[in-house]
Amino acid sequence: MPARIAELQRLGWLSEADAGLLAHGGHVLLTSSADKMIENVVGVFGLPFAIVPNLLVNGRDYIVPMVVEEPSIVAGVSNAAKLSREMGGITAASSESLLAGQIHITKIGNVETALSALGEAQEELLAAANAVHPRLIERGGGARELETHLLELSGERAAIAAHLLVDTRDAMGANLVNTMCEAIAPRVAELCGGQVALRILSNLTDRSLVNARVQFQLDETVRDGIVLASDIAQADPYRAATHNKGVMNGIDAVAIATGNDWRAIEAGAHAFAASSGRYLPMATWSVSADGALRGELTIPLKVGTVGGTRDVNPAARLGLRIAGVEAAQELAELMAATGLLQNFAALRALATSGIQAGHMKLHARSVALSAGVPDALFDEVVAELTAGGEIKAWRAQEILAEKQDKARTGEGSAGHAAGKIILLGEHAVVYGRHALALPVSNAVVATVSAGGASLHPPEIESMVGLIRRELGIDEHYSVTVSSALPIAMGLGASAAFAVAIVRAFDAELGKGLDDAAVNAIAFKCERLAHGTPSGIDNTIATFGQSMLFRRGDVLEANPLNLNEVPPIVIGCSHTTGLTRDLVDGVRSRRERNPGHYDSIFDQMDALSREGAQALQVSDYGKLGELMNVNHGLLNAIGVSTPELENMVSLARAAGAAGAKLTGAGGGGSIVALCPGKVEQVRAALEAAGFRTLELDQE
């Protein structure tokens, strides 16, 4: 995902500020703001925020923001958008955008007299409505017409519905129009010689119709399948409902992403679909004279780019910036285009392979994600899950275990390595103070075998090259790495990869390297990747033991003997921190305030040493307090982030004795010490969307 954001920024679709908001979750509505929007708020609810590239509408390129939880919708629109470009994209148009406010009058003395009185007073009523919103007139909008409808109620009663048609410019207009209706309702009742019953807008916004058209050049069988599906929807309201649901899949997702009232849109769309007295499909498909598939959607869309809750919801404002629309009517046209393409994608899937296959593939990806399948094996596990048809978390874990076993015991040789967490003392260690680090056991397994294809992240290609040169290997070997550690999360993944690969080569070639030799090669790999590494990561990766470190001219490493694996939960944030930048930042701040910084580092030093003693006697209460103090100090030197603070608070609220960021900060991970509360803390972090790990990956 970070790569996707960076690419959008590079292509100029996202500003640097918006890319930063997305990368750090800064666009998400705060609970405190949510509390001001509606009643009885207890939190904020998340949904996936995606984009569709390549949409060409009326000759202009768009990136469409979509917020939706259902798999395949974004993929469907994206493919359709790309395909539609071959024949010039989508043409969308709307001739007017008026919202009707209704004033219902009952108990009318003489209906005929009432209707003619309203007709005569039209100008007076429009002026009275416009007087309520002078700014709207300045913006070129305002009340335009007054229509009247005679209604027959039950019991032979009559009612008049006076429709005030208002050009609301870039606002959806519900509140604007309601205020106007309330203002003129008493006069309308007086003119009718009746009583006011209701005064509110209508959501059947058929004076804001948008029309979108598209053509596709398709294989004849698929084309005819789509036309047949369209004809069936025309004849069968049961099918038309699902057909229209497909259209709304696209439209609602854009509506939510841009802060629009999707219930209003839904109500209008379905009322319009049934306005002939029969529920009909809103999008229809036919074959053009030149044999192309021709699609057309007509739908009422009264949407806004201003007003509503946009001022409080930063995600809606971001959605609008991504859509890049200048006016509400342009947004309505973009929505109609998206709805038409989504309808096409659904019908094409139905007419060809069936819609379920696409759904299942995406479902398999979320199942694999929830089963904790590591990146290196992710695509393989998803492929097997989909092929097997049993798309369940237990099956994903079974496939993963089979693959990891193969990596350990299959042909070729395996090497293991540990990941690391810094429990206390990061940053201070750069200035000669102590740091306490623990291994994440069995975190990485590498396998090498002669021939075959490699399966490892492309980022470690240069590391594999260096190891081969160090070991003098010319022949082709495939290198496969299976890792429980996310990369660039402050958990020592790169050092663990290096150690595991060196050990696997050593086992395969019988070189007889001892741990010191393995460690030395891994340190060279770390230098290649990080410039001036401390040496802690490769040492822990090699020896897999808890250690108290101090960096003088050489790295002093004092192993600790622990009675048990400490009850630690690691939580991974959504942001990677660049160690080098963070260390540089601390350095320059220290140069400005050497006294303060050095005394903080001294405190961190004491925390690491006391922490090592507490750890050895499993005094987790004490150790947790030391971790909390250390986190406060790390915050003080400017390496924490709002996301890390949130994670630390979540862990503590779920019962952790201590929680702090680990590693360089600026993103990366947190560690929480959770005696008796491992499950609770893990569940709290996962419920908030953070991936977790424990200290022993076996």
Select from 218-226, 301-309, 433-441, 622-630 the region that touches ligand NAD (CB under 6 A): 301-309
Q: How far apart are CA 49 and CA 28, in angstroms?
A: 10
CB 11 to ligand NAD: min, Å: 29
Q: Which of 18, 167, 252, 261 is catalytic?
A: 261
Nearer to ligand NAD, 171 or 189 (CB): 171
The reply to whether 172 sits near ligand NAD by the rule CB under 6 A is yes
Distance of CA 95 to CAs 62, 207, 301, 332, Å? Answer: 21, 9, 12, 12
The one among 38, 112, 135, 553 contacting ligand NAD by CB under 6 A? 135
Query: The sheet that has 157-167: what strands, in order across it?
Result: 142-153, 157-167, 98-106, 195-201
Query: Which residue reads 């979108």 in tokens?
Result: 212
Q: Which of 82, 107, 245, 361 is catalytic?
A: 245
Nearer to ligand NAD, 313 or 662 (CB): 313
Select from 217-225, 303-311, 377-385, 393-401 the region that touches ligand NAD (CB under 6 A): 303-311
Convert residues 430-459 into a mask of x (bound to ligand NAD by CB under 6 A) and - (unbound). ------------------------------
How deeply is 655 buried, as exposed, middle or buried, from its count of CB atoms within 10 A (0-12, 13-18, 19+)? middle
The one among 89, 225, 308, 567 contacting ligand NAD by CB under 6 A? 308
The reply to whether 170 sits near ligand NAD by the rule CB under 6 A is yes
The one among 89, 225, 250, 304 contacting ligand NAD by CB under 6 A? 304
Amino acid at 558: N
The reply to whether 281 sits near ligand NAD by the rule CB under 6 A is no
The one among 24, 82, 139, 527 contacting ligand NAD by CB under 6 A? 139
Query: What does the block give as tokens for 351?
Result: 């007419």
**Residue 246 phi, psi (nearest 5):** -60, -45
Select from 81-89, 170-178, 388-396, 547-555 the region that touches ligand NAD (CB under 6 A): 170-178
CB 35 to ligand NAD: min, Å: 17
DSSP state of 290: T
The reply to whether 382 sits near ligand NAD by the rule CB under 6 A is no
The reply to whether 169 sits near ligand NAD by the rule CB under 6 A is yes
Nearer to ligand NAD, 333 or 426 (CB): 333
Asked whether the beta carbons of 89 and 55 are under 8 A apart, the reply is yes
Nearer to ligand NAD, 135 or 592 (CB): 135
For residues 197-236, which are near ligand NAD according to CB under 6 A?
Answer: 201, 203
Q: How far apart are CA 71 and CA 409, in angstroms?
A: 37
- Concerning whether 384 is annotated as a catalytic residue, the answer is no
Nearer to ligand NAD, 327 or 687 (CB): 327
CB 264 to ligand NAD: min, Å: 4
For residues 646-665, which are near ligand NAD according to CB under 6 A?
Answer: none
595 CB-near residues (< 8 Å, 6+ apart): none
- Concerning whether 511 is annotated as a catalytic residue, the answer is no
The reply to whether 270 sits near ligand NAD by the rule CB under 6 A is no
329 CB-near residues (< 8 Å, 6+ apart): 94, 97
Q: How far apart are CA 37 and CA 308, in angstroms?
A: 10
DSSP state of 155: G
Query: What does the block give as tokens for 94?
Result: 């709307």
Q: How far apart are CA 595 and CA 598, in angstroms?
A: 5
Query: Which is nearest to 493 in space by CA: 668, 666, 372, 367?
Result: 668
The reply to whether 36 sits near ligand NAD by the rule CB under 6 A is no
CB 293 to ligand NAD: min, Å: 35
CB 38 to ligand NAD: min, Å: 11
The one among 100, 176, 251, 428 contacting ligand NAD by CB under 6 A? 176
Nearer to ligand NAD, 59 or 134 (CB): 134
Q: How far apart are CA 646 and CA 433, in angstroms?
A: 28
Q: How far apart are CA 391 and CA 549, in angstroms?
A: 46
Nearer to ligand NAD, 317 or 365 (CB): 317
The reply to whether 476 sits near ligand NAD by the rule CB under 6 A is no
The reply to whether 306 sits near ligand NAD by the rule CB under 6 A is yes
How many chain residues interact with ligand NAD (CB under 6 A)?
20
Query: What does the block give as tokens for 397?
Result: 């874990």
C-alpha dihedral (135, 181, 162, 328), degrees to nearest 10: 50
Select from 147-155, 300-308, 392-400, 408-416 the region that touches ligand NAD (CB under 6 A): 300-308
The one among 18, 167, 261, 537 contacting ligand NAD by CB under 6 A? 261
Q: Which of 82, 107, 359, 361 is catalytic?
A: 359
Nearer to ligand NAD, 135 or 476 (CB): 135
Query: What does the block give as tokens for 658?
Result: 């201590």
CB 323 to ligand NAD: min, Å: 16
Q: How far apart are CA 54 and CA 80, in angstroms?
A: 9
Q: How far is CA 554 from the centre of its chain?
A: 44
- Concerning whether 96 is annotated as a catalytic residue, the answer is no
The one among 118, 126, 174, 212 contacting ligand NAD by CB under 6 A? 174
Distance of CA 239 to CAs 154, 234, 565, Å? Answer: 33, 8, 59
DSSP state of 370: H
- DSSP of 408-468, one letter per residue? HHSSSEEEEEEEEEEEE-TTGGGGT-EEEEEEEEEEEEEEEEEBS--BS-GGGHHHHHHHH
Q: How far is CA 567 from the centre of its chain?
A: 31
Amino acid at 459: E
Helix (H, G, I), strand (E, B) or coil at 303: coil
CB 685 to ligand NAD: min, Å: 34
Asked whether the beta carbons of 579 and 494 are under 8 A apart, the reply is no
CB 268 to ligand NAD: min, Å: 9
CB 265 to ligand NAD: min, Å: 9
40 CB-near residues (< 8 Å, 6+ apart): none
- Concerning whether 380 is annotated as a catalytic residue, the answer is no
How many other β-carbons are positioned within 10 Å of the β-carbon of residue 366? 13
Nearer to ligand NAD, 173 or 250 (CB): 173
Query: What does the block give as tokens for 638?
Result: 């400017």
Query: What does the block give as tokens for 336?
Result: 């109609």
Closest residue by beta carbon to ligand NAD: 307
Asked whether the beta carbons of 450 and 412 are under 8 A apart, the reply is yes
CB 537 to ligand NAD: min, Å: 51
CB 157 to ligand NAD: min, Å: 25
Asked whether the beta carbons of 424 and 626 are under 8 A apart, the reply is yes
The one among 52, 171, 185, 612 contacting ligand NAD by CB under 6 A? 171
Nearer to ligand NAD, 327 or 357 (CB): 327
Nearer to ligand NAD, 266 or 645 (CB): 266
The reply to whether 265 sits near ligand NAD by the rule CB under 6 A is no
The reply to whether 307 sits near ligand NAD by the rule CB under 6 A is yes
The reply to whether 264 sits near ligand NAD by the rule CB under 6 A is yes
The reply to whether 39 sits near ligand NAD by the rule CB under 6 A is no
The residues carrying an active-site annotation are 70, 245, 261, 359
Binding residues for ligand NAD, rule: CB under 6 A, are 135, 139, 168-176, 201, 203, 261, 264, 304, 306-309
